[in-house]
Amino acid sequence: MEIKSNPSSKIDPKTGYCPETQTFHSLRPILDLPAETIPLSAASYALSLQSTLGFPANNTPALINSATGHRVSYPEFTFRVKALATSLQTSIGLSRNDAAFVLASTSTHIPVLYFALLSLRIVISPANPLSNQSEISRQINLSKPTVAFATSATSHKLPDLKHGTILIDTPEFESMMTNPSRELGPTVEANVNQSDVAAILYSSGTTGQVKGVMLTHRNLIAVVAGYYTQGPQRSSPAVILYTVPYFHVFGFFYSLKSVALNETVVLLPGRFDLRNMLKAVEEFRVTHIAAAPPVVVAMAKGDVRNNEYDLSCLEAVGSGGAPLGEKVIKAFKHKFPRVILSQGYGLTETTGAAFRVVGAEESLRLGSVGRLVGNCEAKIVDPETGVALPPGKQGELWMKGPITMKGYVDNPKATSEAFDLDGWVKTGDLCYFDSDGFLFVVDRLKELIKYKGYQVPPAELEHLLQCHPDIAEAAVIPYPDEEAGQVPMAFVVKQPQSSLDEAQVIEYIAKQVAPYKKIRRVSFVSFIPKSAAGKILRKELRKIALPESKL
């Protein structure tokens, strides 16, 4: 792939800032992306890059289940993708522009399924398997799937669909991936355009209404190209352990990136356990870990001696989904001095990877989420005045580039609010660039709570709370938590003479939402502070919850 340098002499080479346009430009190499008019799926693009790396793919496992030791080689992976795509097209009757709802826990089948669906121009809509039926119903109303892929444990949550629900943990599904008579023909991808929607992922807003983020094949191609261009020179493929789920944007785009870079992916099925993870690192000689912040916290603070496992193979841990505290970063570096710890920043709306740290030297910039990825631009905008700001000044981060979403499905109002008239995506996060072009995230302008990387909309919980007969008013804010990042905290105004207690409030919500959305703290107050327009003043509530806070 050809790499070009940025030709503009007006851009500060240290910060990427152009004072004339008040815009930050990427300091990364410009990506030589395929022409947009070429029919190309994200899956085919990832596979095409893999063939240029010079690694002997025949000898590289694509996927390893750490619990069972089951391996899928790259030749087998490619064959399974083709066979499954043909089965879905000929036996099930799926066709271009169909949507597939995926409700399944981590397994070696998921990336095979993703690649097969992408190659057929079928929109993938993955959801958290812990979601309850009402949450799933709202998501299905947005993505309008004609087929679902689930497991025996999750299929009961799904409604009847045109092509039914296919269980991926059955011999029948295994046969769809392995029948040699079903290998994909050469013309099946002819109608996959890069501008086509590849996936609908879910992002909740402060209104409490879930939104479906439309990501295109072009979005995914741009993200993969960035990793390919910035990938370190290696004598052998990386072995990367995923602790991130495939339904999250982090795991979704990583499934493509790992194939493009010929990486061996080690999966951890089931609930996270630190010792199981470290055992897998030792057994499978893992070089990299893709993690959410709670995993980094567990590594830094876990009761595991340095010599208990042979971790000499481990080179780096990449963290994303929520920011890491500086104390955690320092504790990690003290415990694992030879392991590079890097952070990244992105939204579902930016296909996950907008800023990232590359290499050991950049990882020394503690607290930073790295530099802007290739072919992208950013602005720091004063949220009060709308004026774009220079380096060192805090404001709302705006983004533009090939990684930004197409929009929210069936929601023109939310889409128009997310973009400005010139196509900039407003992230809702308070950030600043330092003098070397590194981004620091200060606070969230949006009101979403990030619990272990998952998004929890306060308004959704507030609506449920207000349905309780003993609750007059309620508000929910994020409360800092070292392990989870943030937990939902409820402020409740009880009805007169009510004897409602904290445990009852927590239990009431827990019965209605997925586990990561549960309320963890409750404070009973006499009133909820609001603006003249009736908007909840969450900053005032944070001052009550955290009197020492400067927020």
**Per-residue pLDDT band at 205 (split at 50, 70, 90):** very low
- Give the pLDDT mean for 156-177: 96
What integer pLDDT is reported at residue 8 of this predicted model?
56
What integer pLDDT is reported at residue 14 of this predicted model?
95
Helical axes 293-301 vs 326-335, angle rounded to 10°: 50
Q: What is the DSSP letter of 60?
A: S
Residues 6+ apart with CB under 8 A from 320: 244, 250, 290, 292, 343, 344, 345, 346, 352, 453
Write out pLDDT tens, residues 438-478. 999 886 676 778 898 887 878 788 878 888 889 988 889 99
Phi and psi for 508 in degrees, rounded to 5? -60, -45
- Of the two residues 229 and 293, the one the predictor is more confident about is 229
Out of 135-144, 318-327, 507-516, which region has the weakest mean confidence (pLDDT)? 318-327
pLDDT over threshold 90, residue 349: yes
What integer pLDDT is reported at residue 412 of this predicted model?
95
Q: What is the DSSP letter of 441?
A: E
pLDDT over threshold 80, residue 499: yes
Q: Is 511 exposed, middle or buried (0-12, 13-18, 19+ CB in 10 A)?
A: exposed
List strands edge to edge, sheet with 439-444.
17-18, 23-25, 377-381, 395-400, 425-433, 439-444
HSE on the CB side for 543, CA within 13 Å?
A: 8
- Of the two residues 334 and 305, the one the predictor is more confident about is 334
Q: How far apart are CA 118 and CA 455, in angstroms?
A: 26
Write out pLDDT tens, residues 426-445. 999 889 999 999 999 886 67
State the chain's mean pLDDT as an integer.
89
Q: How far apart are CA 112 and CA 115, in angstroms?
A: 5
Per CATH, is 17-439 categorized as 3.40.50.12780?
A: yes
Q: How far apart are CA 96 and CA 108, in angstroms?
A: 25
Write out pLDDT tens, residues 107-159. 999 999 999 999 999 999 999 998 889 889 999 999 999 999 999 999 999 99
Domain ranges of the chain: 17-439, 449-545
- Angle value at C-alpha 257, between 82 and 124, nearest 5 degrees: 55
Write out pLDDT tens, residues 256-294. 999 999 999 999 998 889 999 999 999 999 999 999 888
Q: How far apart are CA 19 and CA 28, in angstroms?
A: 19
What integer pLDDT is reported at residue 123 of this predicted model?
97
Q: Coil, strand, or helix at residue 460?
A: helix
- Nearest CA among 58, 116, 52 for reference residue 83: 116
- Give the pLDDT mean for 515-544: 82
> Does the pTM exceed 0.85?
no
- Percent of the chain at pLDDT > 70 equals 92
What integer pLDDT is reported at residue 247 of this predicted model?
93
pLDDT over threshold 70, residue 314: yes
What integer pLDDT is reported at residue 550 of this predicted model?
41
What integer pLDDT is reported at residue 473 of this predicted model?
84
- Angle value at C-alpha 296, between 366 and 335, nearest 5 degrees: 75
Place of tokens 């789920």: 245
- Give the pLDDT mean for 55-71: 86
Query: Which CATH class, in words, describes the domain spanning 449-545?
Result: alpha beta
Q: How far apart are CA 254 and CA 451, in angstroms?
A: 21
Buried b (16+ CB within 10 A) or exposed e, 227-260: bbbbbeeeeebbbbbbbbbbbbbbbbbbbbbbbb
pLDDT winner (highest mean) among 35-44, 226-235, 296-305: 35-44
Q: Locate all alpha helices (DSSP H) within 101-170, ordered by sequence.
A: 109-119, 133-143
Buried b (16+ CB within 10 A) or exposed e, 39-70: ebbbbbbbbebbeebebebeebbbbbbbeeee
- Give the pLDDT mean for 161-189: 82
What integer pLDDT is reported at residue 533 of this predicted model?
40
- Percent of the chain at pLDDT > 90 equals 69
Write out pLDDT tens, residues 371-419. 999 999 999 999 889 999 999 999 999 999 999 999 999 999 999 999 9
